[in-house]
Amino acid sequence: MTDKLIKVTLIKSLAGQLANIANSARGLGLRRIGHSVTVADTPSNRGMVNAASHMLKVETPTGAEKR
């Protein structure tokens, strides 16, 4: 398991998006505009972030390393 984390925030609506883009955002745990989640920085999560990158804000959370 990786120790790196990324914070992902939904900044645009899922309405009218292709199903794979909306499903990627939901797969990350994002439910509504302005909702933020912290997920592991894995290749699968990065792929979902890349699919919906035009709708997301991605940042490294404070204290990003798990202890």
pLDDT tens digits, 33-52: 999 999 999 999 999 999 99
SS3 32: coil
- Provide the residue ranges of all domains of the chain, joining segments of one domain with +: 5-59
Superfamily of domain 5-59: Ribosomal protein L30/L7 (3.30.1390.20)
**The pLDDT of residue 65 is above 60:** no
Q: Which pair of tokens denotes residue 54?
A: 């035009």
Q: Which of 33, 35, 45, 32 is nearest to 4 (CA)?
A: 45
What's the pLDDT score for residue 3?
Answer: 79
Q: What is the C-alpha separation between 11 and 36, in angstroms, rounded? A: 9
Looking at per-residue pLDDT, the higher value among 32 and 1 belongs to 32
**pTM, rounded to two decimals:** 0.83
Q: What is the dihedral sign for C-alpha 41, 43, 48, 54?
A: positive
